[in-house]
Chain A
Amino acid sequence: MLTWLIALPVIAAAIVALVPGRVKELHLPLGVALAVLPLALAGYVFWVFEPIAGYQFVQQAVWYEPWGISWSLGIDGVSMPMVLLTAILVPIALAASTSITRRTKEFVVYTLLLEAGMIGVFLALDLFLFFVFFEAILIPMYFIIGIWGSDRRIYAAMKFFIFTAFGSAVLLAGIIALAVTYADQFGSASFALSDLMNVQLSTGAERWLFAAFALAFAIKVPLFPVHTWLPDAHTEAPTAGSVLLAAVLLKLGTYGLLRFNLSLFPEASVDAAWIMGTLAVIGIIYGAVVAIVQPDLKRLVAYSSVSHLGFIVLGTFALTSGSLQGAVIQNVNHGLVTGALFLLVGMIYERRHTKQISEFGGLQKVMPVFAGFFLFMIFASIGLPGLNGFVGEFLILIGSYSTLPALAIVAAIGVVLAAIYMLWAYERVFTGVPDKEENAALSDLSIREISLLAPLAILVLVIGLYPNILLDKIAPSTEAVLDHIEEQTEFVRPEPGRLGDVLVAGGDHE
């Protein structure tokens, strides 16, 4: 079944590719319709997903025996939300791409291939397979930015590709080193995650490998100081590209850190927790401060991503039950909210052909629905209680406080800063009187656009009000990660565990 999750988008891409180029207007709707199929399947997986630790729906087929590589897929509480998120966002991103009139067919094909790759990354349980997907994603994304981006698209695409390819190269070195060590110790080759977790590494080797993996994923996240590709890529990419980049591609980094760094190198993870945490917090503050002064709306959202992703990395390396759950759910939250924000920015860009904040003003009056959605997503982004951002950041901050207290306190400043840059941007764009002629004549969102945003808004609300719909399924898997770390090291996770316990236990302490 999991293979179908990857195969469906590929088949969809093939079908779209076979449709003759003459019927231009057919490509996009067909792509959207076909992209609903993986979504349905992902929804089914979510429905039957058991809230237990370990991988489910595992599939395994030998790929090449002597090298120990296999097509092995599985899903657990860490990857399931990401797969679902990907499947939800792809049809929405495609449907939002009506402004792409040039080479539409190629665009749909690349997007669907991108989806297959992204889902593959989250499902792969074999490091070789993981790497194949991890790197293969670059190609469709490169084309999406480079062909349909704005003015400096080629520069941005190249920068994106080279940065991430550099990370991949380091990752590949790490994977090869790990696999060679495994072959030395066990006498047979294997790239399976479950096998490689048994490798006995010296402290030095483990730290080197941790660094290699961490660098690759840090570039993807992106973590300060390797984040410089992100604002360019985001700003130049077309709307759908930005949405998928922010919502899913960045998560490959945080997912990789959680899945591979913590499981494969527990000792080094515990030792390096404060380093990663510090970098994350620098990212939180730095991203927020830079976002405040951005004159470009899209760049502002991009830098807000740097800031929000910092929270996720902090939560990952705080190594507590709450912070890990928070990190996973915040992956989803950030995907939904930032995805929606990029969609919104794209919609206003289509109308005004500018993203400069100073060009706008008073849009509230002329586009009330648009303003409403924007404000809603801003509130979700800055973590208003009742919306999903609150759940994630709260879990992360509370969870991190018990192991990395100083960092958690500094990170909390980031929440305040987020309120500043977001609300200030809102104020400049939406409040006041529409003094520019072009602004006064803008039309509000169409039904089509509302129907794209509404599902995201509903999900934001649902997760905000009833986070256990996801947390119940996430928790066993994140607990398993912590169990593994406790087995391998002297690290003991601080009690308490779950969200409810956090609140109760927090009260007890005082």
Chain B
Amino acid sequence: MIEITTPDVSWIAILPELVLALGAVGVLLVEVQWKPATRVLGAISAITLVIAIFFTFLQWAQAGDALEVGGLDELVAFSGMIVMDGFAVFGRFVLLVMAGLGLLAGWRLVERLNRRGAEAIALVLLATTGFSIMVASNNLVMMFLGLEIGSISLYILAGLTEEKTKADEAAMKYFLLGSFASAIFVYGVALLYAGTGQLEILAIRQFFTEFIVTRPAVILIGLALIIVGLGFKVSAAPFHSWAPDVYQGAPSGVVGYMAAMAKIAGFLAMARILLTAVPQLDDSWLPVIAGISALSMLVGSTIALVQSDVRRLLAYSGVAHAGFILTGIVGGATTGMLFYVTVYSIQLIGAFAVVAVVSGPSSSGSSIDEYRGLARRSPALGAAFAVLLLGMAGLPLTSGFVAKFGVFSEAWANGYGWLVIVALLASVISFAFYLRVIVAMYMEETEEEGIVVSLAARWVLTIAVAGTVLAGILPAPLIDLAADAFPL
């Protein structure tokens, strides 16, 4: 009898993704077969996410054990494609939580889509799968696959509502520019491969510790293209011009989710490549990242000043935040950056949940005038939005302050004092536009009467506000977690 030796597959490394993908397929099949109420589909997706989150806990424990015995090899699975280090697990966990919050925030939209609601849910789960693979990949091609799975799902989500031409325009723009950026990314991967002969991130690092590259031009060009590609995904200046249009045009129920997902995965991938694969080249890339960071902060916060649409404002504030998060990478550490990405994503989803309440879940555009007197129309909603905006502005006692403090300290300690000063100036500029929204909500009057906040939105906002305040006052647990979640 012939014995077939099956390769030893460490399934646990991709269990969350498996669950997510199965959940997405499940949602679609159940919809086709039974056409159940949307609530049932929501329950399926919720169970999927909970199971996936449960597996990240298992992974976290296993990663910790493996590190203690020093068995790094155990953490690399699928012949070097997937890595299960703390960084990946933390990233997955955050993505999954944000997916849950995002679904909750967009629930009104899902309900309104009727029979197409299942598509939206499945797309959210698929996008999460893709980005989850992206943060966990140890291979640049795998990373590209994850990026594409995630991005393509997002392009469709952006144009989900059929009646809105603005949404179609946004989706089209996002798709064209996004696939262009993906192409640039993959070309960068190719050049990096040409220069080093390696696709695996850990192998590339090995390559640089063993060899001294005398003519690194190809590698550097590859790296630059990778930075451009990922810079697009996280909407860092000067690759940000899609963001305001997409944020404005896409249905408000999904914008927060879209933005948060792309940012989390993009930054984690960037940090993994720069800090794990090519730390030896930091003389070359640190100034570039610092430049992009400074430009993003200044461009984002100054252009946001003149926006009259809250979504465009949040988009430009997102550009500024991309700059702030990059200061963490300039700091050469991942702790501050992970913390920042986490708390910012929560604020972002919360903020767009407010937008969805104020302008309707499938709306495009959200003029600042619509926010007049919001604090009187619904004190709780106004207060929630105010807290989230102040959190984004980085006022003390909110998570935003701790996050900024963390990345700025790292950057300063790494010798980039000038960047910190630019960042602080940009923060001051950014106060002005966050305050404009607060002015509208609290200091201007309107004839409009009360506003209905759906139960799902209330949940999202409660979690987002509680998270923002809690992580601002007692940041220790989250920072500790982020500190443990370093990449291999």
For the complex, is B443 an interface residue (Cβ under 8 Å from A)?
A: yes
| B408 and A176 contact, CB distance less than 8 A | yes
Please, which residues of chain A bring their CB within 8 A of the CB of B421?
A: 173
Tell me if B287 counts as interface (CB < 8 A to partner A). Answer: no
* Closest beta carbon of chain B to A486's beta carbon, Å: 31
Residues of chain A within 8 A of B443, CB atoms compared = 146-147, 153-154, 157
Q: From residue A229, how far is it (CB to closest CB) to chain B in Å?
A: 13
Q: Which of B395, B401, B409, B432 contacts A179 (CB 8 A)?
A: B409
A136 to B401, CA, bound (A): 11
Binds B, one of A84-92, A163-171, A238-246: A163-171
A162 at the interface (CB under 8 A from B): yes
Among B430-447, those with CB < 8 Å from A are 431-432, 435, 439, 442-443
Are the CB atoms of B397 and A132 closer together than 8 Å? yes
**Is B147 in the interface zone, CB < 8 Å from A?**
no
Tell me, yes or no, whether A450 is within 8 Å of chain B by CB: no
Q: Which residue of A lies closest to B476 (CB)?
A: A64
Is B242 at the interface (CB under 8 A from chain A)? Answer: no
Q: How far is the CA of A67 from the CA of B428 in the complex (A)?
A: 24
Residue B246, interface by CB 8 Å: no
Given A153-B443, A177-B417, residue A66 in contact with residue B483 (CB < 8 A): yes
The interface residues of chain B lying within 8 Å CB-to-CB of A133 are 396
Nearest residue, chain A, Cβ from B425 = A169
Contacts of A147 in B (CB 8 A): 442-443
Bound form: Cα–Cα A147–B438 in Å: 11
Asked if A170 meets B435 with Cβ closer than 8 Å, knowing A64-B479, A139-B395, A180-B413, the reply is no
**CB of B390 closer than 8 Å to a CB of A:** yes
Asked if A180 and B412 sit within 8 Å, CB to CB, the answer is yes
Q: Which residue of A lies closest to B432 (CB)?
A: A162
A360 within 8 A of B: no
Asked if A176 and B409 make an inter-chain contact with CB atoms under 8 angstroms apart, the answer reads yes
Give the residue of B396, B401, B412, B479 whose beta carbon is less than 8 angstroms from that of A176.
B412
Selected contact of B397 from candidates A136, A153, A154, A161, CB within 8 Å: A136
**Interface residue? A172 (CB, 8 A):** yes
Give CA–CA (A172, B420) in the complex, Å: 10
| A161 / chain B contacts, CB cutoff of 8 Å | 431, 435
Residues of B within 8 A of A139 (CB): 390, 395
Report, as a range, how many residues of chain A touch the other chain: 20 to 34
- The answer to whether A176 touches B420, judged by C-beta atoms less than 8 angstroms apart, is yes
Q: Give the docked Cα–Cα distance between A143 and B476 (Å).
A: 30
Inter-chain contacts of B479 with A (CB < 8 A): 64, 66-67
Instruction: Give CA–CA (A139, B393) in the complex, Å.
Output: 12
Q: Does A158 contact B (CB under 8 A)?
A: yes
B362 within 8 A of A: no
Q: What B residues does A66 contact at CB under 8 A? A: 479-480, 483
> Does A142 touch B at the CB level, under 8 Å?
yes
CB contact list, A126-185 vs B, under 8 A:
128, 131-133, 135-136, 138-139, 142-143, 146-147, 153-154, 157-158, 161-162, 165-166, 169-170, 172-173, 176-177, 179-180, 183
Give Cα distance in the complex from A67 to B402, angstroms. 11
Closest to A172 in B: B424
Chain B 251-291 interface 0/1 with A at a Cβ cutoff of 8 Å (1 = within): 00000000000000000000000000000000000000000
With an 8 A cutoff between CB atoms, is B427 at the interface?
A: yes
User: Does B475 make an interface contact (CB < 8 A)?
Assistant: yes
Chain A residues near B431 (CB-CB < 8 A):
161-162, 165
Task: Establish whether residues B439 and A162, one from each chain, have CB atoms under 8 Å apart when the complex forms.
Answer: no
Tier of interface size on chain B: 20 to 34
Contact B396 A146 (CB under 8 A): no
Residues on the B chain within 8 Å of A157, using CB? 439, 443
Question: How many angstroms between the C-alpha atoms of A183 and B410 in the bound complex?
Answer: 12
Q: Is B439 within 8 A of A146, CB to CB?
A: yes
Cα distance, A135 to B394, chains bound together (Å): 10
Q: How far is the CB of B36 from chain A (nearest CB, A)?
A: 42
Smallest Cβ-Cβ distance to B421: which chain A residue: A173
Q: How far is the CB of A294 from the nearest CB of chain B, in Å?
A: 26
Q: Which residue of A lies closest to B424 (CB)?
A: A169
Contacts of A165 in B (CB 8 A): 427-428, 431
Contact partner of A136 among B395, B405, B432, CB < 8 A? B395
Please name all residues of chain A whose beta carbon is closer than 8 Å to the beta carbon of B435 when the two chains form the complex: 142, 158, 161
Query: With A and B bound together, what is the CA distance between A143 and B435 in angstroms?
Result: 10
When distances are taken between beta carbons in the complex, the residues of chain A under 8 Å from B483 are: 66
Chain A contacts with B in 35-91, Cβ cutoff 8 A: 63-67
Cross-interface CB contact of B396 among A136, A143, A162, A170, cutoff 8 Å: A136
Provide the bound-state CA to CA distance between A172 and B390, in Å: 17
C-alpha spacing A231/B425, complex, angstroms: 24
Given contacts A143-B442, A154-B443, A169-B425, contact A180 B397 (CB under 8 A): no
Given contact pairs A147-B442, A154-B439, A165-B431, A135 touches B395 in the complex (Cβ within 8 A):
yes
Least Cβ–Cβ distance between A185 and chain B, in angstroms: 13
Nearest Cβ on chain A to B212's Cβ, whole angstroms: 30
Residues of B with C-beta under 8 A to A128: 405
| Contact partners of A142 in chain B: CB under 8 A | 435
With CB as the reference atom, state the residue of chain A lying closest to B444.
A154
Shortest distance from the beta carbon of A285 to any chain B beta carbon, whole Å: 30
Contacts of B397 in A (CB 8 A): 132, 136
B436-472 interface code vs A (CB 8 A; 1 in, 0 out): 0001001100000000000000000000000000000
- For A131, list chain B residues within 8 Å (CB): 396
Query: Which residues of chain A come closer than 8 Å to B408, judged between CB atoms?
Result: 172, 176
CA distance A142 to B386 in the complex (A): 13
Contact A169-B427, Cβ < 8 Å, known A64-B475, A176-B412: yes
**A residues less than 8 Å from B424 (CB atoms):** 169-170, 172-173
- Please measure, in the bound complex, the distance between the C-alpha atom of A170 and the C-alpha atom of B428, giving whole angstroms: 10
Give bound CA distance, A169 to B297, whole Å: 15
Shortest distance between the CB of A468 and any CB in chain B (Å): 38
Name B429's closest neighbour in chain A (CB-CB): A162
Q: Mark B373-395, 1 if CB is under 8 A from A, else 0.
A: 00000000000000000100001
Residue of B nearest to A65 (CB): B476
CB distance from B476 to the nearest CB of A (A): 5
Q: Could you tell me the distance between the alpha carbons of A311 and B466 in the complex, rounded to whole angstroms?
A: 45
- Taking CB atoms and an 8 Å cut-off, the chain A residues in 171-211 that contact chain B are 172-173, 176-177, 179-180, 183
Shortest CB distance B222–A (Å)? 34
B431 to chain A, nearest CB (A): 5
* Complex Cα gap A67–B479 (Å): 10
CB under 8 Å from chain A, chain B span 106-154? none
- Complex contacts, B425 vs chain A, CB 8 Å: 166, 169
Chain B, residue nearest A64 (CB): B476
Interface residues of B in 219-245 (CB under 8 A from A): none
Question: Given the complex of chains A and B, what is the CA–CA distance between A45 and B55 in angstroms?
Answer: 54
B187 CB to nearest A CB, Å: 39
Q: How far is the CA of A119 from the CA of B244 in the complex (A)?
A: 42
CA distance A246 to B459 in the complex (A): 42
**Assembly CA distance A136 to B472 (angstroms):** 12
User: Are A135 and B428 interface neighbours, CB within 8 A?
Assistant: no
A218 CB to nearest chain B CB (Å): 16
Question: Can you list 20 A-B pairs, Cβ within 8 angstroms, ordered by A?
Answer: A64-B476, A64-B479, A128-B405, A132-B397, A132-B401, A133-B396, A146-B439, A146-B442, A146-B443, A162-B428, A162-B432, A165-B427, A169-B425, A169-B428, A170-B424, A172-B424, A176-B405, A176-B408, A176-B409, A177-B412
Which residues on A are within 8 Å of B, measured CB to CB?
A: 63-67, 128, 131-133, 135-136, 138-139, 142-143, 146-147, 153-154, 157-158, 161-162, 165-166, 169-170, 172-173, 176-177, 179-180, 183
6 nearest A-B pairs in the assembled complex, by CB-CB distance: A169-B424, A132-B396, A64-B476, A146-B443, A135-B396, A166-B428
Query: Which residues of B are at the interface with A, using a C-beta cutoff of 8 A?
Result: 390, 395-397, 401, 405, 408-409, 412-413, 417, 420-421, 424-425, 427-428, 431-432, 435, 439, 442-443, 475-476, 479-480, 483
| Apart from A132-B397, A147-B443, 20 more pairs, CB < 8 Å | A64-B476, A67-B479, A131-B396, A133-B396, A135-B395, A136-B396, A136-B397, A142-B435, A146-B442, A146-B443, A154-B443, A161-B431, A162-B432, A165-B428, A166-B428, A169-B424, A176-B405, A176-B408, A176-B409, A180-B409
